[in-house]
Structure 1
Amino acid sequence: MTDMILHHYPNSPYSEKVRIAFGVKKAAWKSVTIPNMLPKPDLMPLTGGYRKTPVMQVGADIYCDTQLIMLEIEKRAPTPPLLPKGREGEARALAMWIDRNIFWAAVGVVMGALGDKLPEAFLKDRAAFSGRSFDAAALKAAASVALQQTHAQLVMAEQMLADGRSYLLGDAPCLADCALYNPVWFIKERLGSGKPVPPLDRLPLITAWSERMKAAGSGSPTEIRAADAIAIAKAATPEATSVDANDPSGLKAGQTVSVTPDDTGKVPVSGTLVGLTNDRVSIQRHDEQVGDVVVHFPRAGFVITPA
């Protein structure tokens, strides 16, 4: 089987969502460490401009956004499952809620505490990326609201664990647990210093749950160079995909389209439509450095625009 290659950096919270999934599955994977802000000269040829972290590569197939990356890991390393049988939609819906709501509140908590300690170049990069103010004073002023919102939403997850279950949907970790570990890990990693910090100091079940999740580790990573990943893509052929002729969008195979995130990092990626299903859109593109690749995006949260 072709190796799963994760392009990421250590402090990336969304990358931790994927790394913990590798840990749950005890999976082997290849690791490429990328910069935490632009420029990303070795990643852009693969993605066509998509700049979010992480990105997963399998040969000449490039998977963007953790929504889709997690589904692809599930397909390639199916045991133990992250999508409980009969509750697949529930796990995915919970993960989407966490990604879109709890995560950004948690970012406000961390940035409110650390914003005045971060390099100016990083703050400017994240302001351009998010379309939100990353001025240190504004971040600090908003920290109280972010803390309240993070606590209010984590309480819901705390209540899910109140019946004694070990994980959000039962006795084994699922996709929703990996998603929730992302913001909880981010707060603990950046602010914890070995002890519970607000709002986690008022959430004992979440704190204990996070230690169970942490014990899963990150699987078996092997570091490779970015140049190696580019060479792998150039030597490979993308896997076959197909376009649903009855897709409600009316889009057809062979059209030139652009795909753009609807929340942050709104950089359109253009190419030829070669795959369209309920959960993903796939476009083929060519780059001199990497050759022909297919870049895959989730449907939810991404806008497809015909050229």
Structure 2
Amino acid sequence: MAATAQSIIFHQYDISPFSEKVRVAFGIKSLEWYACDEPVIMPKPDLVALTGGYRKIPVMQIGADVYCDTQIILRELEKRFPSPTLFPGADKGLGWGTAMWTDRVFFQAAVAIIFGGGTPLADDAFIKDREQLTGRPFDIEGMKAASPMMAEQFRAQLGWLEEQLADGRKFLIGDEPGLADASAFYNLAFVRWTSPNGVKIIETFPGVLAWEKHVADIGHGKRQEISREEALDIAKAATSTEEAKADPGEPNGFKPGDAVTVMADDYGRDPVIGDLVSSSAQHIAIKRNDPRVGDVVVHFPRAGFLVMKS
């Protein structure tokens, strides 16, 4: 079945840890989606034609709406497909805070173990690409030196998961999986793909192992494949569904039609320039044009991103 302007097109690659977070969410919601595989390293001309410069993976596309960063991707999935929810039981929003922990502190501990322990991922091209992405040296020797200490940090954070699961619950919040599970799980998946030493640490936590299997058993929903060329053709033929809307609480007075620049606040700080369409405490959407895809609206979260007038 061919993808349409209503289809979920997921720009990813299979060993991307952040893509795994969203793939678990697809599984929780039993969604059908199209995998559009992107290169692991730059150049990514098809991706940046959609995003206006944002190069990180994953990116979700629905028609001419483009969602950058897992935070805004998952927020949009919850909005469009509210059941089953990513916030089961008593979780009405704490999962977002959990995700910020897993994306930064927990992830950095995993990265140090993986690259400090030696991995075939870290060839010269990958290292050069990640130095451009972060704006600083990708210091493999430093990670090797820090790896024993980061193993302690990784173990400590696994210990938090073990304590949460100590009452025998199936998932972190209770009987049903949600955002907290997808967010914590992808770090373990990344370690399992790349680091035998990290796996040894995971396997000292029986509660975590049982939970990890429950999450893995959810699967990834119904995956199909789509080429980058097809994805761009769909964007060009489609029209964004995002409506212009002013936010009365916007702290810096941004309003629809303003020319703004959006960029991440940690790494991959490639600026994306466009005209503001809508904003809120949790999102900003900007309209831009590219010869390959025409007019598209690119969506970003607010937490973890900077917005400036152009």
Normalised to the residue count of structure 2, the TM-score between the two structures is: 0.94
The amino acid across from 2:274 in the alignment is: G
The answer to whether 1:287 aligns with 2:290 is: yes
Counterpart for residue 222 of structure 2: 220
The amino acid across from 2:299 in the alignment is: H
Counterpart for residue 133 of structure 1: 137
SS in 1 for 2:82: coil
Aligned-pair CA distance for 1:89? 1.6
Deviates more, 1:178-187 or 1:201-210: 201-210
Query: How far does the alpha carbon of each residue in 1:173-195 deviate from its partner, in whole angstroms, 9 at most, with x for none?
Result: 11011000110110112224xx9
Aligned-pair CA distance for 1:85? 5.7
Counterpart for residue 249 of structure 1: 252
Q: How does 1:151-170 map to 2 (within 5 A)?
A: 151-170=155-174
SS in 2 for 1:215: helix
How far apart, in 2, do the equivalents of 1:64 and 1:117 lie?
24
SS in 2 for 1:275: strand
SS in 1 for 2:284: strand
Aligned-pair CA distance for 1:88? 2.0
Counterpart for residue 68 of structure 1: 72
Q: 1:199 aligns with which of 198, 201, 207?
A: 201
How far apart, in 1, do the equivalents of 2:140 and 2:105 lie?
22
Q: 2:23 aligns with which of 19, 24, 30?
A: 19
Q: How does 1:67-86 map to 2 (within 5 A)?
A: 67-84=71-88
How far apart, in 1, do the equivalents of 2:234 and 2:292 lie?
11
Query: How far does the alpha carbon of each residue in 1:230-263 deviate from its partner, in whole angstroms, 9 at most, with x for none?
Result: 0000000011332213312211211101001001
Counterpart for residue 3 of structure 1: 7
How far apart, in 1, do the equivalents of 2:199 and 2:8 lie?
35
How far apart, in 2, do the equivalents of 1:5 and 1:117 lie?
26
Counterpart for residue 231 of structure 2: 229
Aligned-pair CA distance for 1:198? 3.5
The answer to whether 1:180 aligns with 2:184 is: yes
- Checking the alignment, whether the CA contact within 8 Å between 1:116 and 1:137 is kept in structure 2 is no
Q: 1:38 aligns with which of 15, 24, 42?
A: 42
Q: How does 1:74-153 map to 2 (within 5 A)?
A: 74-84=78-88, 87-115=91-119, 118-153=122-157
Deviates more, 1:50-59 or 1:250-259: 250-259
Aligned-pair CA distance for 1:95? 1.5
How far apart, in 2, do the equivalents of 1:266 and 1:196 lie?
29
The amino acid across from 2:177 in the alignment is: P
Q: 1:271 aligns with which of 265, 270, 274?
A: 274
Question: Could you tell me the percent identity over the aligned residues?
Answer: 45
Aligned-pair CA distance for 1:145? 2.0
- Checking the alignment, whether the CA contact within 8 Å between 1:281 and 1:297 is kept in structure 2 is yes
Aligned-pair CA distance for 1:116? 6.9
- Checking the alignment, whether the CA contact within 8 Å between 2:49 and 2:290 is kept in structure 1 is yes
Query: How far does the alpha carbon of each residue in 1:190-238 deviate from its partner, in whole angstroms, 9 at most, with x for none?
Result: 224xx98232122221122111111111111110110100000000001
- Checking the alignment, whether the CA contact within 8 Å between 1:147 and 1:198 is kept in structure 2 is no
Q: 1:47 to 1:130 in 2, by over 3 A?
A: same
Q: 1:196 to 1:136 in 2, by over 3 A?
A: closer
How far apart, in 2, do the equivalents of 1:182 and 1:197 lie?
13
How far apart, in 2, do the equivalents of 1:124 and 1:200 lie?
30
How far apart, in 2, do the equivalents of 1:24 and 1:109 lie?
29
- Gaps spanning 5+ residues in structure 1: where? none
Paired residues, number: 305
Q: 1:164 to 1:291 in 2, by over 3 A?
A: same
Counterpart for residue 212 of structure 2: 210
The amino acid across from 1:282 in the alignment is: A
Deviates more, 1:47-56 or 1:152-161: 152-161
Query: How far does the alpha carbon of each residue in 1:142-188 deviate from its partner, in whole angstroms, 9 at most, with x for none?
Result: 21122111111221111111111111111111101100011011011
